[in-house]
Amino acid sequence: MLLLLFHAADNLYALDISHVIEVIPIVALRKIPHVPAYVAGVFNYRGTIVPVIDLCHVIQKTSCRSRFSTRIIMVNHTAKDGGNYRLGLMAERVTETLSRPDIDAKNAAVVDDTPYLGEMFMDDHGMIQRIHWEHLLTDVQYKSLIAGGKIQLNGTSNN
C-alpha cells in the first residue's frame, strides 16, 4: 500500500493514495457560512466547485497553518448512489510517500464517533496513524455542504 504522509500539529498521519487525484498548493478558498468549522471553504477545481476539509481541524481542533508544505489533497469519492464527487483535504507538511504492504488492521483503535481514525503503526518516521478520509463525510453531509453554499454541481452559483 502506498501512503501519503502529512502532519497535524506534531503528529504524523497517512492516507492511502489509491483515490488521490493530485496534490496541489493552497489556493484561495471561499468560505461558506453556517457549515462546521472543519470545512475550510470551497474552490473551483477545473470547472467544478469542490469543498475542502481541514484535516488539522478535524484531528486536532486547530486549523492548518499556512506553510510552504501545506497542500490540498484532491480525492475522488464514489457515493453509494453511484455519484462521483471530488473532495479537497487540506493538510500540513505533505512532503513524502511511504510504501507499506504490511499495515496490521488489528492495531486500529476505532472509536464510534471518529471512524476516520484508522490503525497505528511504527516506521522509521515514528508512530503513524492512518486516516480513512472516506469516513470524514457521509454522502448526505457532502450534498448538504454543496447545497448549503447554494452551489450546483455544474459549477454555477444560485447567489
pLDDT tens for each residue of 96-126: 999 977 665 545 454 556 777 878 888 888 8
Is pLDDT above 90 for 29? yes
Cell of residue 109, nine digits: 483503535
Global confidence as pTM: 0.80
Q: Are 74 and 25 in contact (CB under 8 A)?
A: no
All structural domains of the chain, each given as residue ranges with its CATH number in brackets, are 2-148 (2.40.50.180)
Q: Residue 19 class from Cβ within 10 Å (0-12 exposed, 13-18 middle, 19+ buried)? A: middle
Tens-place pLDDT, residues 7-18: 988 899 999 998
SS3 of residue 59 by DSSP: helix
